[in-house]
């Protein structure tokens, strides 16, 4: 599998963010802590490599360190921030 396909498989979309509601570090930390406390992280440490919010459009992309962890975080669909 090509590196670009793997990188895309490790990225998740987070929608419904109000402009100015949060910053990238806060979103990254909240999702990381949620994953670690509920078994979504497969290894110790922060599972999130990067977070990029597009505030004017109300969404973010989060890159996780593995495809498995990206799949695991999908189980948390609909959690309230």
pLDDT beyond 90 at 63: yes
Q: What is the pTM of this model?
A: 0.85
> Average pLDDT for residues 7-24, to the nearest whole number?
88
> Average pLDDT for residues 3-15, to the nearest whole number?
87
From edge to edge, which strands make up the β-sheet containing 59-64? 11-15, 59-64, 48-54
Fold adopted by 3-76: Alpha-Beta Plaits (3.30.70)
pLDDT of residue 1: 66
Rounded mean pLDDT of the chain? 89
């Amino acid at each position: 599998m090509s590196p670009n396909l793997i990188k895309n498989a490790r990225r998740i979309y987070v929608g419904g963010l109000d402009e100015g509601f949060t910053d990238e570090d806060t979103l990254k930390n909240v999702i990381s802590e949620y994953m670690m406390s509920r078994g979504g992280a497969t290894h110790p440490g922060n599972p999130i490599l990067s977070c990029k919010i597009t505030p004017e459009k109300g969404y973010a992309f989060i890159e996780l360190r593995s495809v498995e962890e990206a799949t695991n975080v999908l189980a948390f669909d609909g959690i309230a921030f």
